[in-house]
A = this chain, B = another copy of it.
């Protein structure tokens, strides 16, 4: 029953996501959809990524939260444009929310938009927003068993970031078991070990992202009438 009821929502979401994609390609903008549990360090990872890439790309951030604008304020404090979306209860972002955020961003002056999805390991996985890449963060305190319990998000992520690795000594995190299960669910996804607040491991992750951005920009620029 749930499937029938949700289908119209998903169909509408896909249609608007495709419209977002066209608008973004036209402007040569790469969009990263960053997903994680509440408190896994999405905003810290975004700030660390901005620090690593801001000289190379023009960056903006779309912050998704049930309520509050604390995350957008944090990003703006670093001189980066940020749009806060309050879903007012919804457990994930949808493409119409992204559309409204894109409407207020200067797309022709941007290379990269990082979308911080609502803190949730389940719901964001089903919704295409028009992004180029979905990447997830798991933080060490959450435990190594999360790929077993939330396989969907590990399967659809292009890359997996393991954050707060500096807290390994404090938690009973079996990294071998974690890595093995991620490999089973998603053999191709690289796993980046970082401590976002300390900058540790961020360079490698940022290089991977930069390569993805450059590849997409190159392919979009080849299309007649697209790119900048």
Q: Chain A: residues with CB nearer than 8 A to chain B?
A: 1-2, 5-6, 8-9, 37-40, 65-68, 70-71, 89-91, 118-123, 139, 141-143, 145-146, 148-152, 164, 167, 170-171
The minimal Cβ–Cβ distance linking A93 to chain B, given in whole angstroms, is 12
Count copies of this chain in the complex: 2
Cβ contact within 8 Å between B91 and A149: no
The minimal Cβ–Cβ distance linking A195 to chain B, given in whole angstroms, is 11
Cβ contact within 8 Å between A141 and B167: yes
Given known pairs A148-B70, A149-B38, the reply for A141 and B164 (CB within 8 Å) is yes
Across the interface, which residues of B come within 8 angstroms of A151, CB to CB?
A: 66-67
Nearest neighbor of A74 in chain B, beta-carbon distance:
B145
Across the interface, which residues of B come within 8 angstroms of A65, CB to CB?
A: 149
Cβ contact within 8 Å between A91 and B66: no
Complex alpha-carbon distance, A48 and B167, angstroms: 23
Choose one: B6, B89, B143; the contact of A39 (CB below 8 Å): B143
Choose one: B8, B68, B123, B150; the contact of A122 (CB below 8 Å): B123
Across the interface, which residues of B come within 8 angstroms of A146, CB to CB?
A: 38-39
Cβ contact within 8 Å between A145 and B2: no
Across the interface, which residues of B come within 8 angstroms of A167, CB to CB?
A: 141, 167, 170-171
Across the interface, which residues of B come within 8 angstroms of A148, CB to CB?
A: 67-68, 70
Cβ contact within 8 Å between A149 and B89: no
Across the interface, which residues of B come within 8 angstroms of A6, CB to CB?
A: 5
